[in-house]
Chains A and B, each alone.
Chain A
Amino acid sequence: MKAKIIITPKKAVVDPQGKTVQGALEHMGYTGVAAVHVGKYIEIDLAPGTDQAAAQKAIDDACHKFLSNPIIEDYRLEIE
């Protein structure tokens, strides 16, 4: 079982990396790009036999406290 966490900058936070990548995509001729957001992906391997509901709760807590900074980032957690 793995926990997959996608972290993206909040909309209110200026994302110069996303804007720069967007500019480069446009420069390369890729059309139809409305916006790019550059974030992070974290994958956590869970030990065999881990209870999924308990893991969801614990990792969600870790996302909030440590893996993301809620002032500047949003996160999405999936366990599969």
Chain B
Amino acid sequence: MNFAVLQFPGSNCDQDAVHVLRNVLGQSARLVWHKESSLGDADAVIVPGGFSYGDYLRTGAIARFSPVMQALRQFADNGGLVLGICNGFQILCEAHLLPGALVRNKSLQFRCENVFLKSPSTNSPFTNKIPAGKLLRVPIAHGEGSYFADAETLAQLQSNQQVLWQYADAGGALIEGANPNGSQLNIAGVCNAKRNVAGLMPHPERASEPLLGSADGQLIFESMMSWLETREKSKAA
């Protein structure tokens, strides 16, 4: 599969994403500078983590207006797979490609630690390879990752099974103590109603090799690959 990894001024997880896709998962991955107006022949797009535009104004607020975002919107409207990680999630929310917003952590601290993620819905291009009940061990590293949406949006997210990842304790319980940032409903990541755009604050690309302590992050990328393969097969048939 061809992955495109966007690069904004201040992105800093772009190379990690490319490394995992190319060297760990054997996919084709190329960096796309934010001033480009085309995504080429990408099958999927990763909007990586970092501090685009220095987080000025609000996280993701300025990156949202980069030229490449128009191409990304079109790609998403046409059903293309888009995954935003950390700052990428913030950018996708600012661009209204995902519902809600990410605000300052309740603790006011920048939290950099491993968390456990529960995947309440495996019915998505981003979670289909995650075994039922499996908790993902992945790191977070953010100061503004507290997920906020109004009550109506939260109800929609739940009834449409758009909550893809939630912070849990080691036993899978969604308790306050396992919530590192004060996110509503312990939400770590969501997808859009069409289920082709998703974002999460934790970093699967930093936990995709056993050497790094966890390879659980691979399951998210493998889900995307598997979904794309199935789509290609059904197109060919």
Listed in ascending order, the chain A residues whose CB lies under 8 Å from chain B are: 9, 12-14, 16-17, 20, 66-67, 69, 71-72
Residues of B within 8 Å of A13, CB to CB, are 103, 148
Residues of B within 8 Å of A67, CB to CB, are 57
Residues of A within 8 Å of B100, CB to CB, are 71
For the complex formed, measure the closest distance between the CB of A16 and the CB atoms of chain B, giving whole angstroms.
5
Given A66-B65, A69-B101, answer yes or no on A16-B148 (Cβ-Cβ < 8 Å): no
Sample of 30 A–B contacts (CB below 8 Å): A9-B103, A12-B150, A13-B148, A14-B103, A14-B106, A14-B146, A14-B148, A14-B182, A16-B104, A16-B105, A16-B106, A16-B107, A16-B108, A17-B104, A66-B57, A66-B61, A66-B65, A67-B57, A69-B58, A69-B61, A69-B94, A69-B101, A71-B100, A71-B101, A71-B148, A71-B149, A71-B150, A72-B101, A72-B103, A72-B148
For the complex formed, measure the closest distance between the CB of B86 and the CB atoms of chain A, giving whole angstroms.
18
3 closest A-B pairs by CB: A71-B101, A72-B101, A16-B108
Across the two chains, which residue of chain B brings its CB closest to A73?
B58
A69 to B108 CA separation, bound complex (whole angstroms) = 20
A9 to B100 CA separation, bound complex (whole angstroms) = 14
Count contacts between A and B, CB distance < 8 Å. 34
The proximity string for B residues 132-163 relative to A, scoring 1 for CB distances below 8 Å and 0 otherwise, is 00000000000000101110000000000000
The proximity string for B residues 84-122 relative to A, scoring 1 for CB distances below 8 Å and 0 otherwise, is 000000000010000011011111100000000000000
15 further A-B pairs in the complex, CB-CB below 8 A; given A13-B103, A13-B148: A14-B106, A14-B182, A16-B105, A16-B106, A16-B108, A17-B104, A17-B108, A66-B57, A66-B65, A67-B57, A69-B61, A69-B101, A71-B148, A71-B149, A72-B103
Residues of A within 8 Å of B103, CB to CB, are 9, 13-14, 72
For the complex formed, measure the closest distance between the CB of A14 and the CB atoms of chain B, giving whole angstroms.
6
For the complex formed, measure the closest distance between the CB of A45 and the CB atoms of chain B, giving whole angstroms.
17
Across the two chains, which residue of chain A brings its CB closest to B102?
A72
Residues of A within 8 Å of B105, CB to CB, are 16
Residues of B within 8 Å of A72, CB to CB, are 101, 103, 148
Residues of A within 8 Å of B94, CB to CB, are 69
A67 to B94 CA separation, bound complex (whole angstroms) = 11
Residues of B within 8 Å of A20, CB to CB, are 108
Per the 8 Å Cβ criterion, residues 178-237 of B in contact with A are 182
A71 to B94 CA separation, bound complex (whole angstroms) = 9
Residues of A within 8 Å of B58, CB to CB, are 69
For the complex formed, measure the closest distance between the CB of B47 and the CB atoms of chain A, giving whole angstroms.
17
